[in-house]
């Protein structure tokens, strides 16, 4: 995989610019058909693409096959949303001569696409956060062409994956240039600073993401940077839950923390349990039963070794399970490592133990009483998720815990596990910083909103209005008319 | 007006932090009552506050009295929106064992307040963009305490205005510290960088706004900066419209460009007319009939003189009306100035003639043919508004003009004028850069969205859910349940 040349780069960007007004002018129904064509093509070419993803990522075939389906389902979800029409946020205020403080003109607002956007995928989900992942699907749904920065961890998959998507779009009648790919670090920076790019979707490390976010903010005309940059995903077990089903929780915790060799942005990085709950034995047993698995690539392995050695050597932790000296030391193969500490030591360590360690690692933290538990819930800046295991709504600390966790969390989970991010209308995958834009999500229908901006039309003759705002409501979409939601036509 | 001391600053910020969870926990109905209390207090204290605003701004009493009403109406509008409930964007996906690619948990999403926000008002609307302007009203509606940076151009009004608002909120049962004020340039920068502040609303100059936006983006944890930083608001007159009612348009143009001594962010800064339409005489007449009026303050006057002298001396313009050498030269009193050029010269000048001149100035630009007209419509980066005067929907260049203008505009106006920003559900006051966040508006109901972020709840027991997401729908709000908008309860 060689860097895209300057000439190729210009061609990709120019094609995206040329495609933008054509794509923006398609009706939601037409665009939905384009998305469904991509969904179909992904399933159709899965057998060809999955082996390439295996070669790049060492992830198992069934997992990657399921990921293709998830990616296709995501396109279908956005197609459904396009057809439903609420995403346009159509609002109509009819002229009102009696309005205070002054008579009001006819005002009609809707959302329109931003223009070409850049997408940086992640190595841990070659399909679902790759070339045609959630950022790309939501940008296309919004009507924005996409320029993908090819991930260096996906040298085999990226171009064939992009070719399948581009061919499906072409065959379905999309303009050329709706999805393009560029490779190379220099092109990554160029893309984020390119005046032809109007927003960036990024999934990856906090350091890399922040560097690009800073470039986006420093542009002469800054653009939104939607970075999903990591998370600790703490899990809190109430005393009642630990008593009632501590061993089950410990086993499920190990399963979640080691799923996909711990390479999920929603991996539970910390488990808070009551002191003396004696779950070490279960964790040791469960961790011992987890088969060694390869990390995604050598870059991830180097990061894993560095973080693991730092954490295992920390004076305020003790080893529960696994071998920090061995796991991944000689090859990509890693076995899980669990360390333990307590809330007092966690607090005393400052942020040293509150760092994401990408791989099959997690930290068990014992709390002595409810006050420590609630203090611990306030230790976090921003997480994609936080989880509470409790025994019913009357379990004393549960409500206070959820309340304390809300300020730092994008998703609050009850008696479950953060891994596995459902693709649906209500999903929210984001949260306070290090997510770089806490107002928006990278997964779920509302991810569309990131690539749209409002435009208001004042007193336009009906035929000059976009279809979404015309009196007859030709698209049949829900609109707010004089403050009331309705699908009815006007007049 | 002396700078807020470090001790006072800390007290204001700490009070905002203490108020945040209390305000966030109020029901929408309770918060609506707080907003209505502010609306009532503003009308009640208008007679005391307006003279202070006159002293600061030299704006006429009737205009300021109307502005108080507009400001009060704005609070009432947000109260209505709070009660209607769609602003919460409640979405519920019930658990689905059949979901592809995997069974789905129960997921429920809604918006929650960001926390304390900072508001920087503008000098040209002492009330409507002041202490309790649209940014403050929308932030309070969202459930966020507000720390206002007092405007140096409002030394008399700021503290008494804030006292009226704070007392109204206190009397209505709001927690202390929901609205605070700080003064001083150093405190402006401190505020934008303060970890206790979660977003900034700003209305003012591009230079000042951008400097603060850069500070917000460079924080360890960046926050959204909603800057409304200026606009040229071009107006385009088609040949047919110029023929049919050129003189009426010219008179209305002069009225709009000189309203409030031209100190509106929506002042029409350029009027594009067909070459040879001969409207100079009407502009001269109408401009001559405009009474001289004082600018807001000395800082505005200095900027006015600097920009006006630069523009009037430009080799590619000619004088149509007014006296650039005299207007505001000796005092705050200014009379209008109109210059003229043509599209070829405008293009040749690069960006030199495309700069906002705050005050009663506007530039008339002649175009030779439709090609020039459409090229001219593409000259702009970002504007709050763009206006087209045409003769019905079949007027040939109208549709193409609107299409060309959409990419650079927040609001598109037909046969009207940009000054006068209605406060309503559909209003959009924003647009591409220099508005620093083109996804959001600073006026209208959807301004609320700037101060809210989503949270998703997974599998929570009903009693632990926020009211907005409970099965019975106790708030009676519109929600999206399994993809369908409804106010019905679940089950």
Side-chain half-sphere CA neighbours of A19 within 13 A: 26
Q: Which of the following is catalytic: A228, A356, A366, A372?
A: A228
* Rounded percentage of chain A residues whose pLDDT exceeds 70: 100
CA-atom Rg of chain A in angstroms: 24
Of B58, B489, B68, B91, the residue nearest B296 (C-alpha): B58
- Inter-chain contact B455–A412, Cβ cutoff 8 Å? yes
- Confidence band (pLDDT; 50, 70, 90) for A491? confident
pLDDT digit string, tens, across residues B285-340: 999 999 999 999 999 999 999 999 999 999 999 999 999 999 999 999 999 999 99
Q: Which residue has the tokens 């693409």?
A: A49
| CB contact (8 A) between residue B463 and residue A393 | yes
Q: Are B180 and B12 in contact (CB under 8 A)?
A: yes
Of all residues in chain B, the one with the smallest CA distance to A429 is B456
CA distance A338 to chain B (A): 26
B422:A66 CB<8 A: no
In this complex, is the C-beta atom of A227 within 8 Å of any C-beta atom belonging to chain B? no
The residues in A 430-489 lying below 8 A from B, measured between CB atoms, are 430-433, 436-441, 444, 446, 449-450, 452-464, 478, 480, 482-483, 485
Is A265 marked active-site? yes
Domain B6-229+437-452 belongs in CATH node 3.40.605.10: yes
Q: With contacts defined as CB-CB under 8 Å, which chain B residues touch A444?
A: 109, 456
The pLDDT score that the predictor gives to residue A38 is 98
Mean pLDDT, rounded, of chain B:
97
Query: In B45-127, which residue ranges form alpha helices assigned H by DSSP?
Result: 46-57, 61-84
Q: Which burial class, exposed, middle or buried, applies to A432 when counting CB atoms under 10 A from its CB (0-12, 13-18, 19+)?
A: buried
Mean local confidence (pLDDT), A236-246: 97
Q: Name A313's Cβ contacts closer than 8 Å, sequence gap at least 6.
A: none
Whether the per-residue pLDDT at A392 is higher than 80: the answer is yes
d(CA A12, CA A14) in angstroms, rounded, equals 6
Give the per-residue pLDDT at B101: 85
**B86 vs A424, B460, B486, CA distance in Å?**
19, 22, 11
Contact B218 A221 (CB under 8 A): no
Residue B447 pLDDT greater than 80, yes or no: yes
Which residues of chain A neighbour B454 with C-beta distances below 8 Å? 410, 428, 430, 439-441, 446
B334: burial class by Cβ within 10 Å (0-12, 13-18, 19+)? buried
Q: Judge whether residue A1 has pLDDT over 90.
A: no
Spatial distance between the Cα atoms of A480 and A459, rounded to a whole number of angstroms: 17
Most A CBs within 10 Å, among B220, B426, B441, to test the A interface: B426
A439 contacts B452? CB cut-off 8 A: yes
> Residue B491: pLDDT above 90?
no
Contact A422 B92 (CB under 8 A): no
Count CB pairs under 8 A between chains A and B: 234
Closest Cβ–Cβ partner in A73, A102, A416 for B458: A416
Nearest CA in chain B to A389: B460
Mean pLDDT, residues A253-262: 97
Q: Which residues of B touch A116 (CB under 8 A)?
A: none
The alpha carbons of chain B give a radius of gyration, in whole angstroms, of: 24
**pLDDT score, position A457:** 98
Active site residues of B: 228, 265
Is the separation of the CB atoms in B471 and B479 below 8 Å? no
pLDDT band at residue B149 under the 50/70/90 scheme:
very high
Please check whether residue A262 is in contact with residue A361, taking contact to mean a CB–CB distance below 8 angstroms: yes
| Inter-residue contact B268 to B419 (CB < 8 Å) | yes
Would you list the domain boundaries of chain B?
Answer: 6-229+437-452, 234-414
Say how far apart CA A225 and CA A222 lie, in whole Å: 9
Residues 328-357 of B with CB under 8 A from A: none
- Cβ of A66 and B222 within 8 Å? no
Q: What is the pLDDT of residue B375?
A: 97
| Average pLDDT of the segment spanning A416-444 | 96
- Cβ contact B347:B375 at 8 Å: yes
pLDDT at B483 over 80: yes
Per-position DSSP letters for B319-384, written without gaps between them: EEES-TTTTTTSSSEE--EEEEEEHHHHHHTTTTTSS---SSEEEEEEESSHHHHHHHHTS-S-EE
What is residue A311's predicted lDDT score, i.e. its pLDDT? 98
Question: How far does B290 lie from chain A, in Å, by closest CA?
Answer: 22
| Model pLDDT, residue A473 | 98
Q: What does pLDDT average to over chain A? A: 97
Q: Which residues in chain B have Cβ-Cβ distances shorter than 8 Å to A221?
A: 381-382, 432-433
Chain A interface includes B397 (CB < 8 A): no
Q: Rounded to whole angstroms, how far apart are CA atoms A210 and B395?
A: 49
Region B264-292: mean pLDDT is 96
Q: Find the mean pLDDT for residues A237-266.
A: 97
B73 and A CB contact within 8 Å: yes
pLDDT digits (tens, 9 = 90+) for B174-221: 999 999 999 999 999 999 999 999 999 999 999 999 999 999 999 999
A115 φ/ψ angles, rounded to the nearest 5 degrees? 120, -175
Comparing CB atoms, the residue among B80, B406, B485 nearest residue A478 is B485
Do residues B50 and B68 touch, judged by C-beta distance below 8 A? yes
Q: Band of the pLDDT at B1, cuts 50, 70, 90?
A: confident
The full 3-state SS of chain A, as one line of letters, equals CCCCCHHHHHHHHHHHHHHHHHHHHCCHHHHHHHHHHHHHHHHHCHHHHHHHHHHHHCCCHHHHHHHHHHHHHHHHHHHHHHHHCHHHCCEEECCECCCCCCCECCEEEEEEECCCEEEECCCCCCCCCCCCCHHHHHHHHHCCCEEEECCCCCCCCHHHHHHHHHHHHHHCCCCCCCEEEECCHHHHHHHHHCCCCCCEEEECCHHHHHHHHHHHHHCCCCCCEEEECCCCCEEEECHHHHHHHHHHHHHHHHHHHHHHHHCCCCCCCEEEEECCCCCHHHHHHHHHCCCCEECCCHHHHHHHHHHHHHHHCCCCCEEEECCCCCCCCCCCEECCEEEEEEHHHHHHCCCCCCCCCCCCEEEEEEECCHHHHHHHHCCCCCEEEEEEECCCCCCHHHHHHHHHHHCCEEEEEECCCCCCCCCCCCCCCCCCCCCCCCCCCCCCHHHHHHHEEEEEEECCCHHHCCHHHCCCCCCCCCEEECCEEECCCCC
Q: CB neighbours of A444 closer than 8 A, spacing ≥ 6?
A: A423, A424, A425, A426, A427, A428, A429, B109, B456
- 3-state DSSP call for residue B127? coil
What is the per-residue pLDDT across B50-89, written as a single tens digit (0 to 9) for each? Answer: 999 999 999 999 999 999 999 999 999 999 999 999 999 9
Question: If you average pLDDT over residues B160-171, what whole number do you get?
Answer: 98
Q: Alpha-carbon distance B169 to A419, whole Å?
A: 44
* pLDDT band, very low/low/confident/very high, at B100 (cuts 50, 70, 90): confident
Mean pLDDT of B262-282: 96
Per-residue pLDDT band for A101 (boundaries 50, 70, 90) equals confident
Fold held by A234-414: Aldehyde Dehydrogenase; Chain A, domain 2 (3.40.309)
Nearest CA in chain B to A223: B437
pLDDT tens digit sequence for B349-373: 998 999 999 999 999 999 999 999 9
Confidence class for position B387, pLDDT limits 50, 70, 90: very high
Which residues from chain B sit within 8 angstroms of residue A407, using beta carbons? 115
């Amino acid at each position: 995989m060689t860097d895209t040349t300057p000439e190729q780069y210009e061609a990709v960007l120019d094609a995206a610019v040329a495609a933008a007004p054509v794509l923006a002018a398609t009706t939601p129904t037409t665009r939905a058909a384009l998305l469904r064509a991509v969904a179909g093509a992904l399933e159709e070419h899965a057998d060809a693409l999955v082996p390439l993803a295996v070669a790049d990522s060492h992830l198992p075939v069934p997992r990657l096959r399921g990921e293709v389906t998830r990616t296709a389902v995501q396109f279908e979800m956005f197609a459904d949303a396009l057809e439903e029409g609420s995403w346009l946020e159509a609002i109509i205020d009819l002229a009102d001569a009696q309005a205070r403080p002054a008579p009001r003109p006819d005002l009609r607002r809707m959302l329109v696409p931003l223009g070409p956007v850049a997408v940086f995928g992640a190595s841990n989900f070659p399909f679902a956060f790759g070339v045609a992942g959630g950022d790309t699907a939501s940008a296309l749904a919004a009507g924005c062409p996409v320029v993908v920065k090819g991930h260096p961890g996906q040298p085999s998959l990226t171009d064939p994956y992009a070719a399948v998507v581009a061919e499906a779009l072409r065959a379905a009648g999309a303009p050329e240039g709706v999805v393009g790919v560029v490779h190379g670090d220099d092109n990554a920076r160029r893309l984020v600073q390119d005046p032809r790019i109007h927003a960036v979707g990024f999934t990856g490390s906090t350091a890399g993401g922040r560097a690009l976010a800073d470039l986006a903010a420093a542009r002469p005309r800054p653009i939104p940077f939607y970075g999903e940059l990591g998370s600790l995903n703490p899990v809190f077990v109430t005393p009642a839950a630990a008593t009632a089903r501590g061993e089950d929780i410990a086993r499920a915790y190990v399963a979640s923390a080691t799923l996909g060799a711990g390479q999920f942005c929603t991996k539970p990085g910390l488990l808070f349990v009551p002191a003396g709950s004696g779950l070490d034995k279960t964790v040791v047993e469960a961790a011992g039963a987890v088969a060694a698995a390869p990390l995604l690539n050598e870059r991830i392995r180097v990061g894993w070794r560095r973080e693991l050695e730092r954490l295992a050597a920390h004076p305020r932790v003790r080893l529960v399970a696994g071998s920090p000296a061995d796991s991944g030391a000689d090859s990509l193969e890693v076995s899980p490592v669990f360390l333990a500490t307590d809330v007092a030591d966690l607090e005393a360590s400052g942020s040293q133990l509150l760092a994401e360690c990408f791989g099959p690692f997690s930290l068990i933290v014992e709390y002595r009483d409810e006050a420590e538990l609630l203090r611990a819930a306030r230790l976090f800046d921003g997480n994609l998720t936080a989880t509470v295991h409790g025994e019913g709504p009357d379990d004393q600390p549960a409500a206070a815990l959820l309340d304390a966790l809300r300020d730092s969390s994008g998703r609050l989970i009850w008696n479950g596990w953060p891994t596995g991010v459902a693709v649906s209308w209500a999903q929210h995958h984001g949260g306070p910083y290090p997510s770089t834009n806490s107002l928006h999500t990278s997964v779920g229908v509302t991810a569309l909103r990131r690539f749209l901006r409002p435009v208001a039309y004042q007193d336009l003759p009906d035929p000059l209005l976009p279809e979404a705002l015309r009196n007859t409501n030709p698209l049949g979409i829900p609109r707010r008319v004089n403050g009331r939601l309705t699908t009815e036509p006007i007049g």
